[in-house]
A and B are shown apart, each in its own frame.
Chain A
């Protein structure tokens, strides 16, 4: 061994204080810790062999949604879905509300500003639609989610048509239909949210 620790004087210091005896304590300490660590490592390896069985128990205990895979834990829990859903909807819905508020203010004053607000709404709604399409909805929630996505797409189409209006009265003539589609989207979102936040039944669990 090159340039060992011993060469740097620790051994001499140890021997100077009483020869072999002075290093005995270190050996005992190291031996005891090494013994404990050996036990812990072996126990850890043994414990790791039961991972598969514990995994199944954990899936059920953690309220895992079936057929959804996550790289690390092998499942998506209800809690994880809730958080993902909240993260997804909060920012987009806030932005959509802001766009709608902009339109409401300008619908009687400025055609250009109203059309700009509608264009922004379309962009946000498209982004929301894309995010929803990528969301890992469990099978039980998928039909409600599909209805929601279709409703949003219909709203996008309607809003785009509205943005193509050539006058403020023509623009406002879409309002009733837009409000109706908005109510439909809100109802669908409530359904999806409720379905997502409900634990799977026993026969749905893996």
Chain B
């Protein structure tokens, strides 16, 4: 059943672009009438399936072939038990999000302040950036593939982003070399002030990243989640004030040039390389163009057009992950990197 507002905006207006960590209250399959209880929908959408909108239980739409989402719902044998393909895939993909915290775990458990102070900003800061980009990657991936089985990862990466960001701020506040009390350390430089603002914005998103909060807040939940885009924008200024717009020449500038590739290690450039893809596929005219080509059955054209933009995303992401793994392994063995 559509609401009055839905009619005003057209029958498809309900399918707004979603936000990180957000469940789609109107799953794509709703209009096809597929029974939501069959488990086709993202887990985080189940709670939103009100009785008034529920299609008939025996209604089955015509499907020419099995969808990827349905295929992911099927069980595979694992250790004598049946495990959904989707569950296995989500665990494997989601594990990446936990990697930054995993790297810091030994120093946190042993309270090794030397390691925490020396590398928490590199490990958890870079980890937070990676998780934010992975979180923001889910919507473009849905746009391009039409598949939804990986949508729960958006919430997971969002939560991991918040955990890494908060951990980074705590580490900087209590164990960094800057002068002053913990609060002063977070606000005395422009880049730390911006980072601190990002963490403050991430806290309400983190607290409300559950179905209960989603139900209680209703439409305001979505508005709140839009803060993610503010955080994304602030990250640009955080990195711009931290790294500057240039790159290292000799001993000056940012992007450590020990391997001769200062440009690739410049974090602001990495950010820009990744953000072009994430931003482009959120532009309404681009989304309309993609949808039109998909409807014409010219998905290959869409992939060809998007491929170079995605290649640039991968190019930037490679160096973010490179830094995370390099600094992270040093943190894990509690021998923080000084590079």
Contacts and interface: CB of A to CB of B under 8 A. Distances in A.
B286 A30 contact: yes
Contact of A37 (B31, B285, B308): B308
B338 A26 contact: no
- The secondary structure that dominates the A interface is helix
> What band does the interface of chain A fall in when counting residues whose beta carbon is under 8 Å from B?
35 or more
Q: B-side binding surface: helix, strand, loop or mixed?
A: helix
Contacts of A38: 308
Interface string A18-44: 001011111101110111011011001
A52 to B, nearest CB: 8
Contact of A55 (B147, B148, B260, B339): B260
Contact of B259 (A29, A61, A73): A73
Contact of A73 (B256, B280, B288): B256
A57 B307 CA distance: 34
Interface string A52-66: 111111110111100
A27 to B, nearest CB: 5
A54 B295 contact: no
Contacts of B144: 5
Contact of B146 (A2, A11, A53, A91): A2
Nearest to A9: B12
A80 B147 contact: no
Given A13-B10, A58-B258, A72 B326 contact: yes
A26 B285 contact: yes
Contacts of B105: none
B145 interface: yes
B251 A61 contact: yes
Contacts of B295: 4, 6-7, 11
Interface in B1-32: 10-13, 15, 28-29, 31
Given A3-B29, A80-B339, A23 B292 contact: yes
Interface stretch (B182-190, B207-215, B309-317): B309-317
Contacts of B286: 26, 29-30
A143 interface: no
A8 B10 CA distance: 12
A44 B339 CA distance: 23
A84 interface: yes
Q: Which of A2, A29, A57 has the most CB of B within 10 A?
A: A2
7 tightest A-B CB contacts, nearest first: A9-B12, A73-B258, A26-B289, A54-B260, A10-B291, A26-B285, A14-B288
12 contacts: A8-B12, A8-B31, A23-B293, A30-B305, A37-B312, A44-B264, A51-B260, A54-B261, A70-B258, A71-B326, A73-B259, A80-B339
Interface of B: 10-13, 15, 28-29, 31, 65, 67-69, 114, 118, 142-148, 250-251, 256-264, 273, 276, 280, 283-295, 299, 305-309, 311-312, 315, 326, 337-339
